[in-house]
Amino acid sequence: MTTITNPQTLSTVVNSLAESETLAMTKKARELASQGNKVISLSVGEPDFKTPQHVMDAAKKAIDEGYHSYSPVAGFADLRAAIAEKLVKENNIKVTAENIVVSTGAKQSLANVIQAIVDKGQEVIILAPYWVSYSEMVKLAEGKSVILTGTIENDFKVTAAEIEKAITSKTRAIMYSSPCNPSGSVYTEKELREIGALLQKNPQIVAIADEIYEYINFEGKNFSLGSIDEIKDQVVTVNGFSKGFAMTGWRLGYIAAPKYIAAATEKLQGQVTSGTCSITQRAGLAALQGDLSAPLKMKEAYLRRRDLIIGLLKEIPGLKINKPAGAFYIFPDVSAYLGKSVNGQVIKTSSDLSMFILNDVFVSTVGGDSFGSPNNIRISFAASDENIIEAIKRIKECLAKLK
């Protein structure tokens, strides 16, 4: 038994966690702004639009109608049914309300699933670049992340053949986001069917398909891995309202999972947080029952801004640029600037570069290190045209100082 000599001792697992780099950059940007600096924040993963009016109205109505009590742990029955209906209709995923568990954001949904299925020492293959929290969630479950990284030359994608090589007897899950945070890449139906075939050969592996940016797809309709019948009992689809409906602060996400996983996450959630906010759930139901004109309008704005930012970034010497097919991030390769110096300070990593840009010209971005891609930085284009133009002008001036 360990003797505790310091009363402020923390658990080993929590000590091993990294702070979320995106939240850290955003915190630093807020600090600089509070000191009177004209900060432009392109680090946060958040739509710059308001939640649609009919969704806000539904929340107000829910308060007046008395939705004040604990809700069922897995979510209100009508909301779960509406989510299942959406998945059948829009994604061709054959589920019913019993497969759905609603949580406090897709972040909790993902953490629940990993905690529910990954045992100590088991491996989770993460397709990188990946969302910062995936590897930390695996750490919390005492699992081991196996990171496979797609390069900018391959549109940041990992192939089924590469995944196959990484599978071992300990592999429990594969996880990815498509559209991807941070690269904006979208796995095509063909690519996902190849991954599906691999899963069929390996029935012990569960795929966690994070589709939270589904509505921000510039090239057509998103293909869902969970729609492939042969592997439907091996796929957990994760989605939520934060990005498509501009509802980040409402905290509403969900999974569609095989029943044994849904039941396990419900049990876990019942011991940790219970059902998510009842008012938020009524708002989410209104979002699903309304039309999709609001997400569509936002997508059109993001598309215009994507093209704007690509044009501006192309003017900066040395950057390699991808063309994101979805989400609202661009992930340029900045390796030409790594190892360079300014005022005696060497910029060793992409996180150093992001921090230098923030301190020098007050534009916040996020270094690619924490997304598993150390040569890149993530820039969000969920910002006004004016801010995008000004921010990229500042970044260009700032990078020119590096020698």
Ligand X SMILES: Cc1ncc(COP(=O)(O)O)c(C=O)c1O
Residues 6+ apart with CB under 8 A from 386: none
> Which CB, 47 or 374, lies closer to ligand X?
47
Tell me the window of 73-81, 103-111, 263-271, 280-288 that interacts with ligand X (CB under 6 A). 103-111
Distance between alpha carbon 7 and the CA centroid of its chain, in Å? Answer: 36
Binding mask 221-240 for ligand X (x = CB under 6 A): -------------------x
The yes or no reply on residue 74 touching ligand X (CB under 6 A) is no
Closest residue to ligand X using C-beta atoms? 105
In whole angstroms, give the CA distance from residue 360 to residue 363.
8
- Written as six digits, the tokens of 230 are 């042969």
- Reading phi first (left if > 0) and then psi (alpha if -120 to 50, else beta), residue 127 is in beta
Q: Does 242 bind ligand X (CB under 6 A)?
A: yes
- Smallest separation, CB 109 to ligand X (Å): 7
Report the first-to-last Cα separation within the chain, whole angstroms: 54
Using CB under 6 A as the binding rule, whether residue 106 contacts ligand X is answered as yes
Determine if 185 is a binding residue for ligand X (CB under 6 A): no
Structure tokens, 185: 């890449």
> What does R_g of the chain's alpha carbons equal in angstroms?
21
181 binds ligand X (CB under 6 A): yes
When the beta carbons of 105 and 275 are compared against ligand X, the nearer one is 105
Token digits for 370? 């924490």
Of 216 and 398, nearer to ligand X (C-beta) is: 216
Give the residue among 374, 371, 320, 329 at the shortest CA–CA distance from 347. Answer: 374
Q: Judged by CB, which is closer to ligand X: 106, or 173?
A: 106
Stretch binding ligand X (CB under 6 A), from 100-108, 118-126, 317-325, 386-394: 100-108
Q: How far is the CB of 142 from ligand X (least distance, A)?
A: 21
Q: Does 253 sit near ligand X (CB under 6 A)?
A: yes
Query: Which of 184, 332 has the CB closer to ligand X?
Result: 184
178 binds ligand X (CB under 6 A): no
On whether the CB atoms of residues 234 and 203 are closer than 8 A, the answer is yes
Q: Which helix (H) or strand (E) holds 216?
A: none
Q: Is 45 in the site for ligand X (CB under 6 A)?
A: yes
**Residues near 340 by beta carbon (within 8 Å), at least 6 away in sequence:** 346, 347, 402, 403
Using CB under 6 A as the binding rule, whether residue 177 contacts ligand X is answered as: yes
Least separation in angstroms between residue 110's CB and ligand X is: 6
| Type and span of the H or E element at 277 | none
How many chain residues interact with ligand X (CB under 6 A)? 13
Taking the CB of residue 120, how many other CB atoms lie within 10 A of it? 8
Q: Quote the least distance from Cβ 177 to ligand X, whole Å.
A: 4
Pair 225, 209: CB distance under 8 Å: yes
Q: Which is nearer to ligand X, 242 or 376 (CB)?
A: 242
Query: CB under 8 Å to 204, separation ≥6 — which residues?
Result: 171, 172
Q: Which residues contribute to the site for ligand X (CB under 6 A)? A: 45, 105-107, 131, 177, 181, 210, 212, 240, 242, 248, 253
